[in-house]
Amino acid sequence: MVDTTSASLKSLLLGLICGGKMPQRKGLENHTAGPAFILLGFSDHSSLRGLHFTVFLLIYLVVLTGNSLIALITVVDSSFHSPMYFFLRNLSFLEICCTSVTPKMLVGLLMGDGRISFLGCAAQLYFLVLLGGTECLLLAAMAYGPYTAICDPLHYSLIVSRGLCVTLLVRSGMVVVAVQVLQANQVFTLPFCSLDLHHFFCDVPPLMELACADMFWNQVTLYTIVLVFVVLPFSLIVLSYTKIIRAVLKMPSVVGRHKAFSTCSSHLGVVTVFYGSAAVFYFKRGSRDSVDTDKHLALFYTIVTPVFNPVTYSLRNKEVRIALKKLLWTK
């Protein structure tokens, strides 16, 4: 019964991502155990594998703990039941899920085995880009709240309602699901000349580098998706904050200007690191000499940014710090 259920789940995932097709492996037909990619990751620094494992495990635990506390506070404390904290709660949830999609990196560092099955790689890629794309749109939606609060404060409660927040979140997820199914299908029906993946996890550009086929349309698809989910949302955020800065500079109160800039800087800092590293990574068609640079860029938007979220939104926010103390120390 368990084997039948497992086989059904695998068939369903294969059908969703690549129409049930196994990868074409030009020159790799002798692999009878089934296709498996090799995540090389930090293989060039095997002597530091233990140090890398310890560092990334600590980062992962910080991400889980910090974002879980933020999500919990915004649920149990009624004073945080506002649109801004609704988005923050969902951002924390996305950060936890996004970081948890890549545990194979920790297993590889611990065991020294970077193998990942085709099915596992396909699932990892799909959920990573799904969560990342949703986060891109969510960060853009989060900029709408401060913009309305500062530029049109009298109508803030009418415009930024809970219904609007839920609608934006649901529609963002629906759009990303459809687009990422198409992209995952396009990537995993490619003929692969090699299964040695020079990365920590399965991502689109590193996988495309292994293909022995004309990649023109794949690159067009990739760049179009990056434009829609990275460049366009970031441009809207920049436009929103340009108007916010103009409005803040017109405030007569120095204290009011300082509070407004402090509130906006947290969100702006997170989006700059996230969008900046993601855009450079996906737009940059790296050569073999830039593999290490690509790896470090990927670490920024998958691991470093989730750490920034609880730090910028809690340690810099007095209300969140007070609520956190009550949650942890109140009997």
Q: What is the CATH number of the domain that holds 85?
A: 1.20.1070.10
Provide the pLDDT for residue 34. 54
Provide the pLDDT for residue 315. 62
Query: 80 lies in a domain?
Result: yes
Rounded Cα distance between 173 and 130, Å, is 8
**pLDDT tens digits, one per residue of 237-250:** 888 888 888 888 88
CB contact set of 222 (below 8 Å; sequence gap of 6+): 183, 204, 205, 208, 282
**pTM across the whole model:** 0.79
Give the number of C-alpha atoms closer than 13 A to the C-alpha of residue 67, restricted to the C-beta side: 27
pLDDT at residue 93 greater than cutoff 80:
yes
Rounded Cα distance between 290 and 129, Å, is 22
User: Which range, of 75-84, 103-112, 202-211, averages the lowest pLDDT?
Assistant: 103-112
Domain extent for 186:
35-329
Provide the pLDDT for residue 284. 67
User: Which range, of 23-27, 167-171, 196-200, averages the lowest pLDDT?
Assistant: 23-27
φ and ψ at 197, to 5 degrees? -95, 115
Total domain count, the chain: 1
Q: Which two tokens stand for residue 187?
A: 């990537």
Range 41-68 average pLDDT: 81
Range 312-325 average pLDDT: 72
Average pLDDT value for the chain: 77
**pLDDT tens digits, one per residue of 120-139:** 888 888 888 888 888 888 88
Percentages (nearest 5) of helix, strand, coil residues in the chain: 80, 5, 20
Over 195-226, what HEC string results? CEECCCCCCHHHHHCCECCCCHHHHHHHHHHH
Query: 133 lies in a domain?
Result: yes
Provide the pLDDT for residue 272. 79
Query: 190 lies in a domain?
Result: yes
User: What H or E segment, with its residue span, contains residue 274?
Assistant: helix 254-283
Query: 316 lies in a domain?
Result: yes
Query: 60 lies in a domain?
Result: yes
Range 77-86 average pLDDT: 81
- Residue 167: pLDDT band (50, 70, 90) is confident
Query: 280 lies in a domain?
Result: yes
CB contact set of 209 (below 8 Å; sequence gap of 6+): 198
Query: 10 lies in a domain?
Result: no
- Residue 30: pLDDT band (50, 70, 90) is very low
Would you say 63 and 102 are in contact if contact means Cβ atoms under 8 Å apart? Answer: no
pLDDT at residue 16 greater than cutoff 70:
no
Which stretches of the chain are assigned E, i.e. beta strand? 36-39, 115-117, 196-197
Provide the pLDDT for residue 170. 84
- Residue 287: pLDDT band (50, 70, 90) is very low
Rounded Cα distance between 321 and 150, Å, is 24
Range 92-112 average pLDDT: 81
Would you say 321 and 314 are in contact if contact means Cβ atoms under 8 Å apart? Answer: yes
Rounded Cα distance between 176 and 271, Å, is 18
pLDDT at residue 22 greater than cutoff 70:
no
Q: What percent of the chain is modeled with pLDDT above 90?
A: 0
Query: 6 lies in a domain?
Result: no
